[in-house]
Amino acid sequence: MGAEVGNNVSDLTGSYGLSNSIMVTRATAGTLDGGPFNFDIDGTPDMVSGITVSDNFDLANTGYVITDDQGNILGLPPTMDDLEGVDFDAAGVGVCLIWRITYSEGLTGLETGQNAADLEGTFSLSNSITVNRN
């Protein structure tokens, strides 16, 4: 008795057997701080700046994902420097979301034109930062 969520296995009573344990490590992409950004589409380049990343990333590959508000992948800047070099004015009117991604080999769907909701494999997306293009 006592096999309930939140209880400690050492408090179980009665006849039972436990298998070996396994360690589960959840991926984390960290937390993005900065924004939201608001840009006027006026022919003048508009770049984000001052974005910081907190927390550790624990998978082999990291980068950034820029999506529209429907999750369609518009760009994949590999580094913060590359992200800060993206001209959001050239994208026209709309909303973009910037995410940090960390992932293991074998991730599929991480391509421009695909939808971030369709990613498959071991990965984590951070919170998003909004870029409004008016």
The ranges assigned to domains in the chain are 26-133
pTM more than 0.75: yes
Tell me: pLDDT of 57 over 70.
no
Tell me: pLDDT of 24 over 90.
no
pLDDT digits (tens, 9 = 90+) for 59-68: 678 999 999 9
Mean pLDDT calculated for residue range 32-40: 95
Token representation of residue 110: 């991480």
H/E run at residue 84: helix 80-84
